[in-house]
Amino acid sequence: MNKLFSQGVLCTLVLFVSACVVPAQSPNPVSSATTDTAITPLSVMGIVTSFTTETRQVLVTTSAGNRVVVTLSDLTEFMRIPPGEKTKDKFIKIAPTDFAVGDMVFARGRMSEDRKGLPAREFYVMSKGDIALKRDREREEWRTRGISGTINSLNAEKKEITLDARTPEGIKPVVVGVIDKTTFRRYAPDSIRFSDAKASSFSDLKAGDQLRALGTKSADGTRFTPDEIVSGAFQTIGGTITEIKPENKEIKINDVQSHQVVTVVISNDSSMKRITPELLTALTPPKPGTPTPPTNATPEKAHGDLQEMFDQLPTLTLPDLKVGDAILVSSTKGNEPTRITAIAVVSGVGPLLQGGQSGRGPAVALGAMSLGGP
């Protein structure tokens, strides 16, 4: 029984390592400890925020920003998880001091009633260096074997998805043919964490959804066989900032499409960038009668490689924004259309919103920028 239970929690840890983790230096709780899936009556998973040698206490911060004090003892078993390993016989026994701030840990014991303390019987560690290597490998795999775009149509009988796929040559239709071994995950409403994504199925997909798949492309590039599909109902809105509340990490904007005031919540998972003049030029539709200058950075090509471009944009912080700035915001579609949590915020997009433009072209691409694999 113990062996089966241990295997179960180890599988949970492997899944957790693949999820988005809040920066340890500035937790911003978005859920209570009682609803935090990283905290159970028998365990906690998170990042080492601090460690006190004298008391042998480790402060662990979960992906939701909650904190648990893990107390170590001479009875605690210490193990390191090598990248990619999932079975305990491949884990490496380590000394009680062989971990550091920033490492991912899974501690098992009995949680206190207030869910703030746990004496650890088992303490599993994945170093931040190993996590970075694992994520780099996964990112490279999704880059070389992945496809992303917007669902155009669905054929339930054939289990086929017609995807408006983003490619270096522009938007192209690709038929994604689901097979028996294809796994599905879907982002939860009002959540931007992959750790909150749920097991899903073909029937959950809808036209207009953003989709990313990992698998094999046909030689002519017109078909794709997926091993894994990640989907979500995303939206992108644009508008001018009317109010900033730094203490609440909130921005209010006038949405140019709905003409409503929308509250944008900035979480620790939100990406904030400033668009460059080069990308702005590539994405801005030319005015009628204006000759298009020759360039390799067409809007289609920009959309096709937007995730890479977005990653390279200058980073912003909330204090960098001011009232009157024009921004684009991508988020999941939640239950409150006038209150959203940002996946990505891009400032300096005024030309995209001028003249009644809704920014639909870049908005569609922006909506999928953070829809990545695990």
pLDDT given at position 16: 39
Q: Say whether both 200 and 84 belong to one domain.
A: no
Identify the residue whose tokens are 């995950």.
Answer: 185
* Domain endpoint, select from 215, 232, 249: 232
| Residue ranges in the chain modelled with pLDDT below 70 | 1-33, 190, 192, 195, 283-310, 355-374
Judging by beta carbons within 10 Å of its beta carbon (0-12, 13-18, 19+), is residue 280 exposed, middle or buried? middle
Please, are residues 36 and 16 in contact by the beta-carbon 8 Å criterion? Answer: no
pLDDT given at position 308: 63
pLDDT given at position 288: 62
Q: How far apart are CA 8 and CA 18, in angstroms?
A: 16
Neighbours of 12 (CB within 10 A): 16
* Domain endpoint, select from 89, 106, 126: 126
Q: Say whether both 242 and 305 belong to one domain.
A: yes
Q: Say whether both 90 and 200 belong to one domain.
A: no
Range of the domain at 239: 234-288+295-366
* Domain endpoint, select from 74, 104, 126: 126
- Domains identified in the chain, total number: 3
Specify the CATH number for the domain of residue 89: 2.40.50.320
Neighbours of 282 (CB within 10 A): 20
Q: How far apart are CA 98 and CA 61, in angstroms?
A: 19
pLDDT given at position 290: 60
Please, are residues 182 and 227 in contact by the beta-carbon 8 Å criterion? Answer: yes
Q: Say whether both 200 and 92 belong to one domain.
A: no
Q: Say whether both 46 and 112 belong to one domain.
A: yes
| Residues 247-252: contacts with CB under 8 Å, at least 24 apart | 249/28, 249/318, 251/318, 251/321, 251/327, 251/345
3-state secondary structure of 240: strand
Is 371 part of a structural domain of the chain?
A: no
Is 374 part of a structural domain of the chain?
A: no
The size of the chain, in residues, is 374
pLDDT given at position 140: 86
Please, are residues 101 and 55 in contact by the beta-carbon 8 Å criterion? Answer: no
Q: How far apart are CA 218 and CA 229, in angstroms?
A: 17
Q: Say whether both 145 and 81 belong to one domain.
A: no
Q: How far apart are CA 34 and CA 116, in angstroms?
A: 10
Is 160 part of a structural domain of the chain?
A: yes
Q: Say whether both 49 and 38 belong to one domain.
A: yes
pLDDT given at position 280: 78
Q: Say whether both 238 and 361 belong to one domain.
A: yes
Handedness of CA 130, 2, 194, 320 (dihedral sign): negative
Q: Say whether both 220 and 186 belong to one domain.
A: yes
pLDDT given at position 277: 84
